[in-house]
Amino acid sequence: MRTEAQGLWTPSSPKILSPLEERAHGAEMKARGRRYWTSRRHGEVHLRQERNSFAGEAPLTVHDMVMGTAIRCTTQVALGCKHSNGWHLLTYMEYYEQRRRAANRLLLQLGLECFHGVGIIGLNSEEWVISSIGAIMAG
């Protein structure tokens, strides 16, 4: 295996950029020595967080926001869908449970793995909304 001194990247060293790559991505790569982006599948990045602003708050996942809303607004109506026999209404807690079940179904039955994509084809419906957020919650 060649080393950094020979101009090639090794797993133990940061990637050496060509002059064109350096110009294109230089500002992002050099900002206080932190990496704010990556093209690696399992790469880690530094989050930009400002002090004394909304951006300075700890980041939340979609799952955290959905669960927090379900806890705060348990009995309020979250989603309504008109069927032939009338309206079907879901409270935030019912909506959360349906999305959690959809996420489990994607993980267990369909074999969804971390960083894989999910395509949901359908009309604007209750099932589509539940499946969409369920896929995000599945990871």
Query: What's the pTM value of the predicted model, to 2 decimals?
Result: 0.56
Q: Where are the domains of the chain?
A: 4-56, 62-138
Domain spanning 62-138 has what CATH number?
Answer: 3.40.50.980
With beta carbons less than 8 A apart as the criterion, state whether 130 and 102 touch. yes
Nearest one of 59, 97, 60 to 79, comparing CA atoms: 97
**In what helix (H) or strand (E) does residue 65 lie, and over which residues does it extend?**
helix 62-72
Each residue's pLDDT, cut to its tens digit, for the chain (139 residues) gives: 444 444 444 445 455 555 555 555 554 455 556 677 788 777 787 777 677 766 667 778 888 888 899 999 999 999 998 888 899 899 999 999 988 888 888 777 888 787 788 888 888 888 888 888 888 888 7
**HSE of 28 in the Cβ direction (CA atoms, 13 Å)?**
14
